Amino acid sequence: MPNELLAAALAARNHAHAPFSKFRVGAALEDSSGRIYSGCNIENATFGLTLCAERVAVFKAVSEGARDFRRIAVAADTDTLTPPCGACRQILWEFCGDIEVLLTNPRGKSESLRLKDLFPRAFDASFL
C-alpha cells in the first residue's frame, strides 16, 4: 500500500493551484479500511487563506466520513524531502494521531517517519 499511497500523493501534486509560490505539493491519506483521500495545496492571493495539501486531504476524508487513519504521504519536488508544516502537523495529530508520515519526491526518493517524531509534545484535547 505505501507505493500506491506515494503514487497518489505524486498524482495529487499535479492538481496543485500554486500560481504565486510555484511550490506544488500533493498529499494522500489512507484510512483504516485502505481507502485513499488525496489533496493538493491551493493558494490564494492573500496567502493567509491558502490551504496545504495535507489539510485538504484530512478535511476531505473527514467530510466523507472517515475517522481512523493509517498513514499519509506528502509529495513535493524538493531534493530534501518536505515534511508537513506546523499547522498541518497539528491537524494531523488531532485527526489522525501518531500515524506514519511518508515523504517523497518525483525522483523516487522517499522516507518514512512517525508523526510523534515530527511533532513531539503535541497539544490536543487532552489538555483542555
pLDDT tier for residue 10 given thresholds of 50, 70 and 90: very high
Average pLDDT of 105-109? 97
- Which residues constitute the domain of residue 70? 2-117
Average pLDDT of 72-101? 98
Q: What whole-number distance in Å separates Cα of residue 1 and Cα of residue 19? A: 32
Is there a domain that residue 127 lies in? no
Q: Residue 1 above 70 pLDDT?
A: no
pLDDT tier for residue 95 given thresholds of 50, 70 and 90: very high
Residue 43 falls in the annotated catalytic set: no
Q: Residue 2 above 90 pLDDT?
A: no
Q: Check which CATH number belongs to the domain holding 57 and give it.
A: 3.40.140.10
Average pLDDT of 38-63? 97
Q: Residue 120 above 70 pLDDT?
A: yes
Q: What is the mean pLDDT of the chain?
A: 97
Is there a domain that residue 113 lies in? yes
Q: Residue 50 above 80 pLDDT?
A: yes
Cβ-based neighbour number of residue 5 at 10 Å: 24
Is there a domain that residue 66 lies in? yes
Average pLDDT of 33-50? 96
Helices (H) and strands (E) in the chain, counts: 4, 5
Count of structural domains within the chain:
1
Q: What whole-number distance in Å separates Cα of residue 82 and Cα of residue 96? A: 19
Which residue among 4, 30, 43, 54 is the active-site one? 54
The share of the chain scoring above pLDDT 70, in percent, equals 99
Nearest CA-CA partner of 99 in 19, 30, 21: 30
Is there a domain that residue 126 lies in? no
Is there a domain that residue 48 lies in? yes
Q: What whole-number distance in Å separates Cα of residue 115 and Cα of residue 21? A: 26
